[in-house]
Structure 1
Amino acid sequence: MARPVTNAAFERLLLAAGYGNAHAAFARQLNHAGRNEGAWRYDAASVYWWLRGRRPGEHVQAAMAETLARKLGRSVGVMELGFGATESIGECAYPTSIDGAIDKAEQIWTRLAKHLNQQASGTFDSGKAMEAALGWRYDLPDGSTSRNGRQQVTSTDVQSLYALADHFTDLDRRHGSGSPHTRAVMADFLVRQVAPMLRGTYTDAVGRDLMRAAATLSGQLAYMSYDAGEHATAQHHVTLGLRLAKAAGDRLYGAHLLANLATQAVFLGHAREAARLAEAAIDGAGQAPAAVIARLHATAATAYAQSGERRACQIALIRAENALDRTGDDPGPRWVGYFSPAHLAGAALRCLSDLRLYKPALRHAPDALTLNSQNLRTRALHTALIALTHARGGETDAACNWSRRLARQTDGIRSARVQQRVRELTAALSPKQTSSQVAEVLHALAAASLEREHG
């Protein structure tokens, strides 16, 4: 039995335009109207679901209005279609279904691709973050992900998406994400290639791998947006990634994304919420590989340190260190391969510095810099943290020496997080700017920041 129509406004427009019994014809005209958006493959089934409450993306609604206007001989406003008000980029609702996640993916990827340069991201919503964590952790698993669309999707198609994710990850680590160009290219690819794949034809096995690959790409775009200072955009993409990872049945990658959300919350000063997010990630990961456990506990430690919970922080760091010692036997998923002893040392350095244990913190400084050559942004972040810890500990000469090194390292890196560390370092050194050495260092840091802004 067919479901009852819930969007009467859209049904009336279709009837008036002669598409009442010609949904397939309307879909063909819609695909033609949206040809500049990529290879749309909507069909009569798409119209069926739109009539019954599913909400297409803004770009699709615009094409609908254009298609109906041609037939009716008058202008048609998007609001006449009956799909409701547009959700803002800052409202990060966790989709309740796979179909809802696919619709949401198309909406937010399109919005990002079209409006990236407007810098209208909004703010981080800690309440929505916790709702997403609860949905990911406790909602029932999805049934089959198989789908019948107009584009056949194979395992080979999906593997190409992982290769692309690796490429963008490498660019991000080397240069940071401050330039909107790379994110715009990635968002455009997601709209034109990945969204049609999600609406294609695939088996359950291919569908789960496709969901995992889409979650990986969305998670990478989220991290790049976070590094660029676009915090609501980042949160929105993490939330989407969590839902896609849930559909894929990949609890480990979901835990990784939730830890990324906790890391973002720490950066923004939401320490208590960050701790809860990290705890949910650890709980949801279950019996995870050692490398994943190490990464998750390191994230929890940074949240505890920011909250001033010294004992909880120390326990988390010990658990992370013990887990990392076991990674030789179990390297874990490919995406956690980045987490090295240097990353754990950087987390310990930050934790102890936040707890004002400056001398113990600096014992981790040498290990924090034993990074792979491609981790240029992380090297700059750790160098800035070492300089800042020296400055806060009253060691001005050492702080200046490390600041000079930092000024050289930031060349070619565009990252809001690196800029924030530089601002914190400048604030810590400014009270002593009467010293010629400090004045020289502050000038070098300011010059490097100006070059990044205009580079």
Structure 2
Amino acid sequence: MARPVTNAAFEGLLRAAGYGNAHAAFARQLNHAGRNQGAWRYDAASVYWWLRGRRPGEHVRAAMAETLARKLGRLVAETELGFGAADSIGTCAYPASVDGAIDTAEQIWMRLSKHLEQHSSGAFDSGKTLQAALSWRYDLPDEAVNRSGRQQVTPTDVQSLYALADHFTDLDRCHGSGSPRTRAVMADFLVRQVAPMLRGTYTDVVGRDLMRAAATLSGQLAFMSYDAGEQAIAQQHAVLGLRLAKAADDRLYGAHLLANLATQAVFLGHAREAARLVEAAIDGAGRAPAAVRARLHATAATAYGQSGERRACQLALTKAERAIDRAGTESGPRWVGYFSPAHLAGAALRCLGDLHLYRQALRHAPDALALSSQNTRTRALHTALVALTHARAGDTDAACNWGRRLAQHPTGIQSARFQQRIRELASVLGPNQASPQVKGVLHALRTISAVT
């Protein structure tokens, strides 16, 4: 029984070039193209094994690209062949080209879909993230992204991807991202549906929109992985999304992804790097709509707050507040619609608390909880943050009151970030555990941790 094809990219190119059922003919042409390398003796069996995962040498790949280019009447990059680079699989490096981005997407999506349960997350690499930010900001734009591949991609096909992205976003906000099953379903969808589309046939206009949709999906998977505590996976997909956004010529979504990376860096305690990332995002976004500016400046405030830069933090908050006041009068991209005054209030609560300005921070608490019903996870995060801010301010009674409110939230929120907030609150209250009130709240917090 024949083994299944694992290199769909190479198979698609063979079919497009007329070698789909003529593997022996392709091997003969390949031997001819490589005649300067010596007496090659590749045959149909060689092609069989290349289609099933065997990796040819560098000179052979170059000859393959040359042979296919002659038949297709266009340049074929070696990265299109689907063999990848042995030292690049699974890294969070920023791909140099669109073809490299497509190769990287296929590799890391396949890896995630097959090995999600066993995957070791690894560490967040702030150096590579800053390099990606510089490449996104200063690399020249891609002149064209049109392709000729195995399947035709239409504008309707691309719109269906946006609908799926919205679906996964809704699941994430309601239930959190900690369940591997949800991310496995998404990764499988990316492998089976999106990767073949990226390898397909499309015009430059459709291709730009396809890159934007793929960036959106990769960015959503990045955020879900971050919320689940899989930091290296999150970074990989955010950097990939950044490169796809560059190919789409969508600087606003690229800035949004950089801000997400900055948010991840803040969560992990890399405040200085976070500030540089969001500064690059603000610079790269240019004259952005008000809602986008509000989101970016709010992220900057959290980075400055954690690094102790009081003046910069308060200036960023002021800019964010001014922008959110104007957001209703300007249309913005679809993905920024989530950012509300409540999200800005949550950022203010966080960064002012980091600066030990607890009284100022708690003034934002009522607004931070004025969230729509579908924002279940954010409401839980903000409630925990209010409790934590009271505890840090030394108001144990108020902290306990808010801690008990946490127990009233819907159970089953799968979020490593929420778990971290619970642990921080328990740590601050811990020295007072001799108090019956505190002891009861700590028990409730342990119960929450057990069911989320």
Q: Report the TM-score range of the alignment, normalised by the length of the smaller protein.
A: 0.7 to 0.9
C-alpha displacement at 1:56, in angstroms? Answer: 5.9
Change (3 A) 1:126 1:30: same
- Counterpart residue type for residue 353 of structure 2: S
**Alpha-carbon distance in structure 1 between the residues aligned to 2:132 and 2:389:** 35
CA RMSD of aligned residues (A): 2.5
> Is 1:371 paired with 2:366?
no
**Alpha-carbon distance in structure 1 between the residues aligned to 2:218 and 2:37:** 37
- Counterpart residue type for residue 425 of structure 1: L
**Alpha-carbon distance in structure 2 between the residues aligned to 1:274 and 1:234:** 15
**Alpha-carbon distance in structure 2 between the residues aligned to 1:265 and 1:335:** 21
Q: Is the 8 A contact 1:410 1:448 kept in 2?
A: no
Change (3 A) 1:45 1:383: same
C-alpha displacement at 1:16, in angstroms? Answer: 3.6
Q: Could you list the runs of 4 or more consecutive aligned residues of structure 1 that deviate by over 6 angstroms after TM superposition? A: 11-14, 49-52
Equivalences for residues 90-239 of structure 1 within 5 A: 91-239=91-239
* 2:86 corresponds to: 85
* 1:54 corresponds to: 79
Q: Is the 8 A contact 2:368 2:382 kept in 1?
A: yes
Q: Is the 8 A contact 2:369 2:382 kept in 1?
A: yes
SS at match of 1:152: coil
**Alpha-carbon distance in structure 1 between the residues aligned to 2:199 and 2:181:** 27
SS at match of 1:129: helix
Structure 1 unaligned spans of 5+? 35-43, 62-82
Change (3 A) 1:211 1:193: same
Q: Is the 8 A contact 1:208 1:248 kept in 2?
A: yes
**Alpha-carbon distance in structure 2 between the residues aligned to 1:182 and 1:266:** 25
Q: Is the 8 A contact 2:215 2:245 kept in 1?
A: yes
Counting matched residue pairs gives 405
What is the TM-score of this pair, normalised by structure 2?
0.85
* 2:21 corresponds to: none
C-alpha displacement at 1:406, in angstroms? Answer: 1.1
**Alpha-carbon distance in structure 2 between the residues aligned to 1:331 and 1:205:** 22
* 2:286 corresponds to: 286
Change (3 A) 1:372 1:56: farther
What is the TM-score of this pair, normalised by structure 1?
0.85
Q: Is the 8 A contact 2:154 2:202 kept in 1?
A: yes
C-alpha displacement at 1:297, in angstroms? Answer: 0.2
C-alpha displacement at 1:450, in angstroms? Answer: 1.0
* 1:79 corresponds to: none
Equivalences for residues 235-384 of structure 1 within 5 A: 235-384=235-384
Change (3 A) 1:47 1:426: farther
- Counterpart residue type for residue 85 of structure 1: A
* 1:18 corresponds to: 43
**Alpha-carbon distance in structure 2 between the residues aligned to 1:300 and 1:313:** 7
* 1:74 corresponds to: none
- Counterpart residue type for residue 434 of structure 2: T
Q: Is the 8 A contact 2:301 2:351 kept in 1?
A: yes
- Counterpart residue type for residue 168 of structure 1: F
| Deviation readout 1:244-277 (Å, 9 max, x if unpaired) | 0000000000000000000000000000000000
Change (3 A) 1:47 1:388: farther
SS at match of 1:85: coil
**Alpha-carbon distance in structure 2 between the residues aligned to 1:174 and 1:134:** 34
Change (3 A) 1:437 1:137: same
Equivalences for residues 366-445 of structure 1 within 5 A: 366-409=366-409, 411-445=411-445
Q: Is the 8 A contact 2:77 2:99 kept in 1?
A: no
**Alpha-carbon distance in structure 1 between the residues aligned to 2:182 and 2:37:** 42
| Deviation readout 1:124-145 (Å, 9 max, x if unpaired) | 0000000100010000010111
Change (3 A) 1:122 1:293: same
SS at match of 2:116: helix
Change (3 A) 1:418 1:410: farther
Structure 2 unaligned spans of 5+? 1-29, 54-63, 70-74
C-alpha displacement at 1:14, in angstroms? Answer: 11
Change (3 A) 1:14 1:211: farther
C-alpha displacement at 1:84, in angstroms? Answer: 5.8
**Alpha-carbon distance in structure 1 between the residues aligned to 2:191 and 2:65:** 21
C-alpha displacement at 1:447, in angstroms? Answer: 1.2
